[in-house]
Amino acid sequence: MSKFLLFLGCTIPTKQYSYEISVRNVLPKLGVELVDFPESGCCGFPLKGLNKKAWIYMSARLLSLASKKGLPILALCNGCDTSLRKIKDLLMHDKDLREEMAKLLSNEGVKLDINAKVYHTLEVLHDFVGVERIKSLVQRPLKGIKVASYPGCHMLRPSDIPRPEDPVEPRKYDSVIKALGAEVGYYPDKGGCCGATLLPYSAKHALLIVASKLKTIKEYGFSAVSTSCPYCMEMIDAKQDAARSEVGDEDISIPVFYLTQLVGIAMGLKPKELGLNLNVSPVEGVLDRLGVSLYE
């Protein structure tokens, strides 16, 4: 049995509840033990533009708290995953920075320790649980559903630190989807950006990015999209209406699922156990085709 510290980050425990619900209900059924990490909080990634040291400090703090517990971190959010790995790498190679952070952390009684291992949801599913094990637990194959995987920027880049997926040719995501009985496929710019970080500067332009991504995915014949990042979800699931009116294209409408939700549907879990009633996009279409009622 693999055991992980469940690191929720910011967006998931304050807003993107369906990711947390599906992770808490699906992963233990796959033999993954989750240990709550209530003293975690923000990884600092959203603060990097304001002050890079604040970012480094917040991630150094998290790595140290996790190292003390002696458990690997399961980062659900792409931003958190990148943040922890990037800061770990920076600190590993910069003695002065280590000393500076150690001093700050000592103010709160924490000893700097960056040894904690960091894993993303996709790695836990693909590398720890494994595709064969997932396949063996499928009770309701996602037959006839063509799913576009949407890894999101920070699952892939920057690539000068270890990443959960191949940064150039992401494959793990699609192999998990295939194990569920769904179809996968190519579309241009699969590793592209959802535009979330552009929101505070210009919501209009961020929506143009969402519109163009979803339009491409539909043009390539997909019937659903899947992501494992709460920021991507926030953009491509919750902002479809806004993107549609921004560009005046009625065709921008497609069901979007967290990967853990798709795994849960295939394993026969009830939609409410996966938080599917909280998805904003029209997920009912896919559920109907599988003979599942959203309200069962």
Partner 1 sequence: MDSRILNEVRELVKPHSPQYCYQCAKCTSACTATKVIPEYKPHLIVALTRLGSVKGLMESGIIWACTECWKCSEYCPQDVAPVEVVIALKNLSIAMGYKPPEDLKVMAKNVVELGYVSPPIEVLSKEFEMYGREALSLPELVKPYVSEGTPTNLKKLLGGVYE
Q: Which residues bind partner 1 (CB under 8 A)?
A: 10-11, 13-15, 17, 20-21, 24, 36, 38-42, 44, 46-54, 57-58, 61, 93-94, 104, 107-109, 153-154, 157-159, 167, 192-193, 195-202, 205-206, 208-209, 212, 275, 277-279, 284, 294-295
126: Cβ–Cβ under 8 A, 6 or more apart, which residues?
Answer: 172, 173, 175, 176
CB of 186 to partner 1, least distance (A): 19
Residue number, 104 or 131, with CB nearest to partner 1:
104
What count of residues does the chain have? 296
User: Rounded to 5, what percent of the chain is helix, strand, coil?
Assistant: 50, 10, 40
User: 3-state secondary structure string, 154-194?
Assistant: HHHCCCCCCCCCCCCCCCHHHHHHHHCCCECCCCCCCCCCC
Alpha-carbon span 72 to 74, nearest angstrom:
7
Closest C-alpha among 78, 83, 85 to residue 118: 85
Residue number, 157 or 289, with CB nearest to partner 1:
157
CB of 104 to partner 1, least distance (A): 5
Alpha-carbon span 222 to 123, nearest angstrom:
24
CB of 260 to partner 1, least distance (A): 15
Residue number, 57 or 222, with CB nearest to partner 1:
57
CB of 208 to partner 1, least distance (A): 5
CB of 243 to partner 1, least distance (A): 12
Residue 35 CA to its chain's centroid (Å)? 18
Query: Which residue(s) pair with 6 in the sheet?
Result: 36, 74
CB of 100 to partner 1, least distance (A): 11
Q: Tell me the backbone φ, ψ of residue 239, rounded to 5 degrees.
A: -110, 20
3-state SS, residue 227: strand
Residue number, 160 or 250, with CB nearest to partner 1:
160
Residue number, 186 or 201, with CB nearest to partner 1:
201
Residue number, 72 or 271, with CB nearest to partner 1:
271
Closest C-alpha among 171, 248, 260, 254 to residue 220: 254
CB of 133 to partner 1, least distance (A): 27
Residue number, 123 or 234, with CB nearest to partner 1:
234
The first and second tokens of residue 198, run together, are: 């552009």
